């Protein structure tokens, strides 16, 4: 029998983690072969490799311990790839030569499959004097554009493009530009952005005090701290970025604050790292460790948890020695501190299986208790390794035990560290686990709530047709196996029904016993008032979180995948019947735009009328008028063709891109500071602005790049009943399969149709 609990799990394994030859022929015949490959590779650095290979295999078996994807895909393959997920790069010098040396290092790291983080606060602000060249500085944002372009051209190992995190201090003179940077839909698409928020700034916000923006000892501007805070909040409310990192708290709590200062994180924020620091991630699957699930005495098997954590720590410590690194500085940093980030997945499932509702007071207490058990076991396992193999080279008992995190650790653990040292400077982190959670049978991701009890996923068959399969949450599927058709208990709750403060309380409970940080998205309803949204961030600060990331669906950011009750099969296909155009109502709403093309005596007037379909406004017809009779024939032809496409239904935003791509061999024109290659391209731009205004597309440049119906898909003659899934606006379309069945969690996009996942 297959070890996979669901077809999607096997497909994820085959697509992402199964070892294949260069021609695509599988080398790993089964998932057991993959487990054996990883276990053997990580045991190879042991004095008794055969003994530890078996223990490592047992930990991997049945998806109990889930190393991060780079380990699953890369260990034991013999390929020149890093097993570390992400890196924070070196401090960027404030010089042209230094900046481009850092760019080269970033490219080399991404080439081997590592995501990167950078602090751009070290670059002088825009307009500052550059001595010796009689010029003004272009500022950090201009260099971030260079990094963004580099990232788009570098294909990571495997099938992912790289992800990047950019941070900037809240007192940098260019912070306001940084906050607003991604409001331009075409800019910095490869970056996540986070503001480094200091304790002093939060004090000033609460006190209503002024705040200085400074660089190099010079104050460039002073503004009210609350005004800057509200700018951050408003941008996040509208555009889902930037995130907030409480950087002083991170440095204060850091076990290594006696030897390093942190100013950046990896792309998803769960690993605050020093220059050239790397994150090594893995997760214990709590959903597999519950005894007697759903019974009155259901509980986590703490003995099994302790044993699994201890083996996992040893496996991850071995990765430090087994991995390659893109740069020598990264290898030296990893060896000197031997950081690991052991976390969990399946938390929400485990809570439901023990009768606890995610976000409730009891669930918060249980989460803190479980994470405490994991932190204890991980530290003690690392102490045992220190006795056997030596403490990490930079260990100093006095400085280490004086850190904020270790000050709250149990006294017996502190005593053991004082006596024997510890092998790994940091041991715990909560990583994004979207893809490996699917691979493990669709357990709930990380410490996130269950996203959906079930949803339907389109599956491409070998003959080109598509079928639909139900993907159920692991705990839901287990309930059905044990309890049959009995209704789900109240302990099953999904992200759609939770209050934002439930998320915050769960994050804070976990953070207490995590010595790195946590990748968590606080989902907020679209209609949450701005003031309540702002309170979420203040609550995260007050409760001791190290950062905060929210997601509020709207017309700009797109909506997360939502799942609704099952509906009967429609009499025809769900999309508009393309053999019959939409009927035109007697009246339509629309807008008229004036377009003045340079050199033309008369302006064009472009009218776009809209129709409402399933509660959504979409374009229906276009009219183009002008007094210039020279334009008459082609404008009439154009309006008829565009209107015909609009009336067919579906996602017609590709029309915009087709028009914008037309160039005039006689030359284009400059309009409002932008070069437009032709008058047709200008018309495309007008239509695009209209589609953005009505919420049909999320932003400039974010429509479909080609006609999705140019090649018709075969239609199953007898479609099965499906669960209705509401599609988001085209802001979040899967870059792999083009599906709109995309949801965002832990800072990552995950496609429910093909399993594609991208962080950042």
Residue positions annotated with a catalytic role: 266, 268, 270
Kindly list the distances between the CA atom of residue 321 and the CA atoms of 150, 193, 315, 358, in Å, as whole numbers in the listed order: 30, 32, 10, 38
Distance CA 384, CA 79 (A): 31
Q: Which long-range contacts (CB under 8 A, 24 or more apart) does 105-108 make?
A: 105/326, 105/327, 106/147, 106/150, 106/151, 106/164, 107/150, 107/154, 108/326, 108/327
CB 621 within 8 A of CB 690: no
* Closest C-alpha among 695, 551, 433 to residue 192: 551
Any idea what the Cα angle at residue 631 is, between residues 627 and 632, rounded to 5°?
80
Strand bridging mode 278-279 / 86-88? antiparallel
User: Alpha carbon 2 to chain centroid distance?
Assistant: 30
What three-state secondary structure class fits 495?
helix
* Closest C-alpha among 255, 270, 543, 509 to residue 370: 509
What three-state secondary structure class fits 733?
coil
CB 459 within 8 A of CB 361: no
**Cα end-to-end span (Å), the chain:** 37
Distance CA 524, CA 193 (A): 19
DSSP 160-190: PBP-EEEEEETTSTTHHHHHHGGGSTTSSTT
CB 253 within 8 A of CB 515: yes
Query: Which one-letter DSSP state was computed for residue 455?
Result: E
Strand bridging mode 281-285 / 65-67? antiparallel
Distance CA 555, CA 219 (A): 38
CB 6 within 8 A of CB 454: no
What three-state secondary structure class fits 24?
coil
* Closest C-alpha among 388, 441, 447, 319 to residue 56: 319
* 345: CB partners within 8 A, 6+ apart: 66, 283, 284, 285, 286, 287, 433, 436, 437, 440, 443, 444, 445, 446
* Closest C-alpha among 344, 275, 271, 324 to residue 157: 324
Distance CA 100, CA 307 (A): 47
**701: number of Cβ within 10 Å:** 16
Distance CA 83, CA 319 (A): 7
CB 613 within 8 A of CB 648: no
Phi-psi region of 650 (alpha: psi -120 to 50; beta: other; left: phi over 0): left
Kindly list the distances between the CA atom of residue 78 and the CA atoms of 23, 41, 58, 70, 627, in Å, as whole numbers in the listed order: 16, 10, 23, 13, 70
Tell me the backbone φ, ψ of residue 299, rounded to 5 degrees: -160, 160
* 24: CB partners within 8 A, 6+ apart: none
Strand bridging mode 299-300 / 243-246? unpaired
């Amino acid at each position: 029998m297959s070890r996979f609990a669901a077809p999607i799990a096997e497909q994820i394994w085959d697509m992402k983690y199964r070892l294949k030859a260069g021609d695509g022929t599988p080398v790993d015949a089964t998932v057991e072969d993959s487990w054996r490959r990883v276990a053997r590779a990580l045991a190879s650095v042991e004095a008794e490799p055969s003994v530890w290979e078996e223990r490592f295999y047992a930990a991997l078996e049945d998806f109990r311990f889930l190393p991060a994807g780079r380990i699953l895909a890369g260990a034991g393959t013999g390929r020149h790839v890093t097993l570390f997920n992400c890196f924070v790069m070196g401090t960027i010098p404030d010089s042209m030569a230094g900046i481009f040396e850092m760019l080269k290092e970033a490219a080399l790291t991404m080439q081997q499959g590592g995501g990167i983080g950078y602090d751009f606060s070290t670059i002088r602000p825009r307009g500052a004097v550059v001595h010796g060249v009689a010029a003004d500085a272009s500022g950090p944002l201009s260099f971030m554009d260079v990094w963004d372009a580099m990232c788009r051209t570098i294909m990571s190992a495997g099938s992912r493009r790289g992800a990047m995190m950019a941070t900037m201090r809240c007192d940098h003179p260019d912070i306001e530009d940084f906050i607003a940077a991604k409001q331009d839909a075409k800019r910095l698409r490869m970056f996540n952005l986070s503001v480094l928020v200091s304790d002093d700034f939060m004090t000033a916000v609460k006190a209503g005090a002024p705040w200085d923006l400074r660089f190099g000892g010079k104050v460039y501007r002073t503004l009210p701290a609350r005004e800057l805070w509200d700018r951050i909040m408003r941008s996040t409310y509208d555009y889902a970025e930037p995130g907030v990192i409480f950087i002083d708290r991170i440095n204060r709590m850091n076990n290594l604050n006696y030897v390093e200062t942190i100013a950046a994180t990896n792309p998803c924020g769960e690993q605050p790292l020093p220059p050239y620091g790397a994150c090594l991630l893995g997760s214990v699957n709590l959903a597999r460790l519950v005894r007697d699930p759903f019974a009155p005495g259901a509980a986590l098997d703490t003995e099994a948890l302790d044993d699994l954590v201890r083996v996992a720590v040893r496996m991850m410590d071995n990765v430090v020695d087994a991995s390659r690194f893109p740069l020598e500085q990264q290898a030296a940093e990893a060896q000197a501190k031997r950081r690991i980030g052991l976390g969990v997945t399946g938390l929400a499932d485990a809570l439901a299986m023990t009768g606890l509702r995610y976000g409730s007071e009891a669930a918060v207490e249980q989460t803190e208790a479980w994470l405490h058990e994991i932190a204890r076991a991980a530290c003690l396992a690392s102490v045992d390794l220190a006795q056997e193999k030596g403490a990490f080279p930079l260990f100093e008992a006095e400085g280490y035990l004086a850190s904020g995190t270790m000050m709250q650790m149990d006294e017996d653990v502190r005593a053991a560290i004082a006596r024997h040292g510890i092998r790994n400077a940091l041991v715990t982190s909560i990583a994004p686990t979207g893809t490996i959670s699917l691979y493990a049978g669709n357990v709930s991701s990380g410490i996130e709530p269950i996203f959906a009890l079930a949803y339907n996923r389109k599956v491409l068959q070998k003959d080109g047709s598509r079928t639909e399969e139900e993907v159920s949450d692991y705990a839901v599927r287990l309930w059905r196996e044990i309890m049959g058709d009995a209704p789900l208990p109240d302990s099953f709750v999904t992200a759609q029904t939770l209050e934002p403060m439930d998320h915050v309380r769960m994050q804070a409970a976990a953070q207490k016993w995590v010595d790195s940080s946590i990748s968590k998205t606080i989902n907020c309803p679209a209609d949450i008032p701005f003031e309540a949204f702002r309170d979420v961030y203040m609550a995260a600060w007050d409760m001791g979180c190290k950062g905060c990331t929210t997601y509020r669906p709207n017309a700009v950011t797109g909506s997360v995948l939502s799942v609704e009750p099952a509906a009967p099969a429609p009499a025809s296909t769900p999309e508009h019947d393309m053999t019959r155009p939409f009927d035109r109502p007697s009246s339509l709403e629309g807008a008229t735009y004036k377009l003045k093309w340079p050199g033309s005596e008369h302006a064009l007037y472009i009218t776009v009328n809209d129709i409402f379909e399933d509660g959504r406004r979409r374009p229906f017809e276009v009219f183009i008028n002008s007094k210039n009779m020279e334009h008459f024939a082609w404008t009439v032809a154009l309006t008829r063709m565009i209107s015909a496409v609009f009336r067919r239904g579906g996602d017609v935003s590709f029309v915009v891109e087709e028009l914008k791509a037309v160039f005039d061999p006689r030359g284009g024109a400059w309009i409002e500071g932008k070069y437009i290659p032709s008058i047709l391209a200008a018309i495309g731009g007008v239509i695009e602005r209209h589609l953005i205004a009505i919420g049909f597309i999320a932003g400039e440049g974010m429509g479909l790049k080609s006609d999705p119906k140019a090649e018709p898909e075969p239609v199953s003659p007898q479609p099965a009943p499906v669960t209705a899934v509401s599609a988001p606006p085209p802001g979040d379309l899967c870059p792999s399969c083009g599906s709109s069945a995309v949801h965002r969690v832990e800072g990552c996009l995950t496609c429910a149709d093909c399993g594609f996942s991208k962080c950042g």
